[in-house]
Each structure stands twice: as C-alpha cells, then as structure tokens.
Amino acid sequence: MLKYICFCIFMLSFVPFSTAQKVNKDSTKTPTAKPKRENFEKLRINPDKAYRLKRAYEFYEAKDYLKAQYLMEDLIPQYRGTPEAEKIFFKYAYTYYQLGDFSLAQYYFKQFHSTFPNSASAEEALYVSAEASYQLSPSFRLTQEDTEKAIEGFQMFVNSYPNSDKVQNCNEKIDKLRKKGEIKEIESAKGYLQRRQYQGAIHTLQNILINYPDIDDVENVRFMLVKAMFKFAEKSIEDRQPDRYRDALSQYDIFKRKYPQSKFLLEADKMKQKAEKFFVKNNLKR
C-alpha cells in the first residue's frame, strides 16, 4: 500500500503546472448570464425616440415586421418634417407587404409616392403598390375590383416611369389581369343567356367588345351577341319586336361579314330566317 501511494505522488510530479492551473481556473468559472430580454411594451413608451427608431430598424432587419410596424407607427408623427421621415414611412409600408396585408400595403405605398414624389424610393413604391393589388386580385369567378385597381396601378407606373426596367413586367401583368377580366365578363354573359336574361347578356357582350377589343374569343362573343339580340326580340312585346329584330339582323350582317366561314354561321342563319319570316308575316319592311 505504501508503495502504491508513493507511485501516485511520483506520477503527479510530472503534471505541468499550467495544466493544473487551468483546471483550477475552469473549476471556479461561473456561467455567463444570458442578456435580459427587453420588455416590448416598455420599449414602446420609452421617451428616447432615437433609441426606439434604432430598435425599429433592428426589428425590421431581423424580419420581425410586426414589432417594427408597431414602433414605426408611433414614430411617424414624431419624425414628420424631418429627413428621417421618408425612410421610416417607406419601411413602414413594407412591413404591411411583408406581413401579407396587401390592402394596406397598396394604400401606404401609394400614399408614400404621393407624399415623396421626388424620393429615390418613389418608383419602387408605386410599383409595389400595384404589385400589392395584383396579389389581391381574385379568381375570375369573384368580383374584380382589385383586378381593376392592379391594372390601373401598373398602367400608372408605366406612364410615370416609361424607361424603367419593370415596364415589360408591368405590361405582362396587365395582359394577364385583363385576360382574367375577359373570362369573368364572358362567363357573366353566358350566365345571362342561360337564365334567359337577354337584355343583361346584350349589355355585357357589348361592353366586352368595347373594353376588350383584342379579346382572343371575339368570334364567340359576337355570335353570343347575335343570339342574345334575336332571343331578346323574340321574347319582346309585339310593339317592340320590329325594331329589335332589325337590330339583331344588323348584328347578324356584321357577324357574317367578319366571319364568313364561322362554325356558328349555320345557327345564326336559322335565327336570321326566323326573323325574316316575322317581317313577311306582319307585312313589314326590314
């Protein structure tokens, strides 16, 4: 036993002093305390607005857009009229876009463009305003107010910044949005025809030809207009029938002149013949 103790003492004599010192140092080291979390509500009422603005920008860069938004909302009136106001307002508008609140994003970016028209960020603001409306544009089966707003927004951008590299993208999106509007209107006209609401169908189809002159399915639209006008005349009271048949026949003539080989012509000819029989039967001039 005495030999074993002597051996251990002998081996310890070879341990470097620096290592033993490190062990002792590490054994007495206390863990570093985590920084205390800042109370956000206290931050909002902090009287130091410069500090709150610094924190708002930090939240923004960290993509904590909701906290950045809350702070900036309080700071905008306090910095109104100062050089910093423009930057705060621009980032404030972006917080809504980043959070998916496209309705308010559209509003605030458009307001930014109006308030700071000479800003270096004005072009981007007008574009993002239109883009926000584009994000809101619904299925063609739903109401299209946001679609129309997006078209107006992109068109305004193109007119305001014709040399921008975003113009081509705007024009492509305008075409896409208009196509959605075309489909919506055509489906609406078909619905009127199916429900035998011929006056509504005529009005809708005429508007399509005015508002969408380059529509792809224009032949079908013109045929539906001919059909709606003949059906409307047929269902009208006797006193109104002559004039309405004349209008239908005039629309038929336009259709036949434009599409002499149309697949719809056979059906259109049958309606024409029925109208002509009406004039012969009633001894009326076409």
Q: What is the pLDDT of residues 144-198, one digit of tens each?
A: 688 889 999 999 999 999 999 999 999 999 999 888 888 888 989 999 999 999 9
CB environment 226-244: b (16+ within 10 A), e (fewer): bbbbbbbbbebeeeebbeb
Which residue did the predictor score with more confidence, 66 or 216?
A: 66
pLDDT above 80 for 7? no
pLDDT of residue 139: 54
Contact 275, 230 (CB under 8 A): yes
Q: Which CATH class is domain 196-281?
A: mainly alpha
Locate the domains of the chain by residue range.
41-99, 100-181, 196-281
DSSP secondary structure string for all residues of 55-120:
HHHHHHHTT-HHHHHHHHHHHTTTSTTSTHHHHHHHHHHHHHHHTT-HHHHHHHHHHHHHH-TTST
In single-letter form, the type of residue at position 244 comes to R
pLDDT above 50 for 25? no
With H, G, I as helix, E, B as strand and everything else as coil, classify residue 168: helix
Give how far Cα 41 sits from Cα of 38, 44, 71, 125, 158, Å: 9, 5, 10, 30, 43
CATH T-level fold of 100-181: 1.25.40
Contact 75, 94 (CB under 8 A): no
**Angle at which helices 122-136 and 167-194 pack, to 10 degrees?**
30
Q: Establish whether domains 100-181 and 196-281 are of one fold.
A: yes
pLDDT of residue 220: 94
Mean pLDDT, range 51-75, rounded to an integer? 96
